[in-house]
Amino acid sequence: MAAPRIAMVAGEASGDLLAAHLIAALKQRLPDATFVGIGGPKMQREGLDAWWPAEKLAVRGYAEVLRHYREITGIRRQLIARLLREQPDVFIGVDAPDFNLAVEKKLKSRGIPAIHYVSPSVWAWRGGRLDKIGRSVSRMLAMFPFEPAIYDARRIPVSYVGHPLADMIPLDGSRAAARARLELPEDAPIFALLPGSRQSELQFMGELFIETAQRLHERFPAALFLAPLVSRETRNQFEEALWKLGAQELPIKMLFGHAQDALAAADCALVASGTATLEAALLKTPMVVAYRMSPWSWRLMRRMRYQPWVGLPNILAGRFAVPEFLQDDATPDNLAQALGNLLMDQPVRQRLAELFERLHRQLKQGTAEKAAAAILPYLQAAA
């Protein structure tokens, strides 16, 4: 087989992580393969030639996307044109469905296999996208066990590959070891604050999470707070929010990355809805889920939702296993009360740990290797 050329696009920190592990698995099978497209630092460390950084696509919510619409559509137009000129053997869109499905549809129509890695949440909202997905993808790689049946019903090729975080995170972690790595005391109450990986998320949740920490500190004076932030820009936003609220004296340790270490070390976590909620569950950390967005985006999203839950642990469990506070309900008082209750209620914490272990075992599938195996036939066909 000639050295395959694989194009990939990932648009945010979680996609960057998933794609980096897939690149590593593909390189084990195809050591001469080259990778090009859009990606973050983890993908680039695995060898991706990034034509644009993933941060360019890392916006969420209708109002936020509209503000960046011209730039994003310009990048997509240039990307499609370049891919059609260079004719990669396969295209892999990692999450970011609003961006990637349009790319995949165009490439598939021109004979380039288009793989979509991470099913859009058609089971949660916008189920009408299934027809578009069927026209756009050669194969869907699904991470959750209930997803393949949805695609099978529409005769869309699909493979269940599990979730790579379940492979990466040990089934039995040590909170004491995580605290030692971060040089934290063994006996202090510790809360992790994860307000999101995007600048747009920090805009709506940075101050909210800090005000929650202020209330928790009043109730638990010995408490410490960890705030892992994924970029210099989000760290600067968080620091500005601390100064604005006069919260510089709060015992908050900001970390550059290290979200999993922070979650593993924490007694409880306050987490923006998204992949971080799954990380917290896999690390067996009790959590409260919160999310805010622009009022206009919220009105649209609320009408289009199919399920009462937004946090992945609740979706996988099919019930409100962990508290969720969205939009106007996400207030510092509500969040601090829920987190304080979790910290003090040992039976609830034990039940959550047992649930999270069951979910972990269900998702632990050797994901990167399964995904690579599902992609390999398309590369062999191209050769």
CA distance linking residue 137 with residue 91, whole number of Å: 10
Please tell me the distance from the alpha carbon of residue 243 to that of residue 254, in angstroms, as a whole number. Answer: 14
Domain spanning 5-162+365-382 has what CATH number? 3.40.50.2000
Considering 158-172, 187-201, 235-249, 332-346, the range whose residues carry the highest mean pLDDT is 332-346
With a cut of 50, say whether residue 257 has pLDDT above it: yes
- Which pLDDT band holds residue 1 (cuts at 50, 70, 90)? low
Residue, of 276 and 67, whose pLDDT is higher: 276
Q: CATH assignment of 170-363?
A: 3.40.50.2000
Question: How much is the average pLDDT of 58-83?
Answer: 76
Is the pLDDT at 340 greater than 90? The verdict is yes
Check residues 232 and 50 and name the one with the higher pLDDT.
50
| Average pLDDT of the segment spanning 285-290 | 97
Residue 131 CB coordination number (10 Å): 11
pLDDT at 352 over 60: yes
Whether 170-363 and 5-162+365-382 are alike in CATH topology: the answer is yes
The pLDDT value recorded for residue 84 is 97
Query: In this predicted structure, what is the pLDDT of residue 124?
Result: 57
Give residue 117's pLDDT: 96
Q: Where are the domains of the chain?
A: 5-162+365-382, 170-363
Nearest-angstrom CA–CA distance, 367 and 166: 9
Confidence band, pLDDT 50/70/90 cuts, at residue 362: very high
pLDDT higher for 112 or 298?
112
Residue 366 backbone zone (phi > 0: left; psi -120 to 50: alpha; other: beta): left
Instruction: Quote the pLDDT of residue 303.
Output: 65
pLDDT computed for residue 125 by the predictor: 60
Angle at Cα 254 formed by Cα 249 and Cα 67, nearest 5°?
105
Distance of alpha carbon 8 from its chain centroid, rounded? 17
Q: How far apart are CA 217 and CA 327, in angstroms?
A: 23
pLDDT digits (tens, 9 = 90+) for 144-174: 998 999 999 999 999 999 998 899 899 988 9
Please give the average per-residue pLDDT across 319-333, as a whole number.
95
Sorted by sequence, the CB contacts under 8 Å of residue 315 that are 6+ apart come out as 124, 307, 309
Q: Tell me the average pLDDT across 224-229.
A: 95
- What number is the average pLDDT over the span 88-115? 95
Question: What is the reported pLDDT for 62?
Answer: 47
Q: Is the pTM of this model over 0.85?
A: no
